[in-house]
Amino acid sequence: MALRKINHQKRIISKKLINIRQVWPGDIIEFRYVGTDILDKLPLVFVIKKKGKILQGINLNYLREFRVQKIFDEPDWKKIQEGRVTRTMRSNLFKRLRFWSFVELGYRTYSISKLSHINKITYKTDAMLEEEREQKQVEIKKEDLENLDENKL
């Protein structure tokens, strides 16, 4: 089955160049990947596990956005975001993904020796988008109230 790549660039907030030693389960990274018969030379990967010379993760470029958002509903992801997980605890996370059936299409293993130009990604989740929308609505209401006050004077 031929996979179709999905562009998630509009959801990327920031990129930070890092070393492979700074990559932990739960991180979203983008890197250049070299090798023969490589379909995606610039994968966007949600890291599940890094052990020895292998990096296991979910290539988000092979998943539609609603499937990507299921990753952010995982209990282990939420623990990381809430700061309830230390670096040493991260290696034991994501052993059982609750929404595996949604994301298994993007599961890949990568040889660490073939990775270069690794960027840590800050990805905009649906929760972040909703919060932005709410803030904009509050700002609009404030502007409307200010305009009403000016018109009364």
Q: Where are the domains of the chain?
A: 9-124
- pLDDT of 1 reads 45
Q: How many CB atoms lie within 10 A of CB 108?
A: 16
Q: Which residues of the chain have pLDDT under 50?
A: 1
Of 4, 36, 28, 7, the C-alpha closest to 111 is 36
**How, if at all, do strands 54-59 and 44-51 pair?**
antiparallel
Per-residue buried b or exposed e for 130-150, using 16+ beta carbons within 10 Å of the residue's own CB: eeeeeeeeeeeeeeeeeeeee
- pLDDT of 112 reads 95
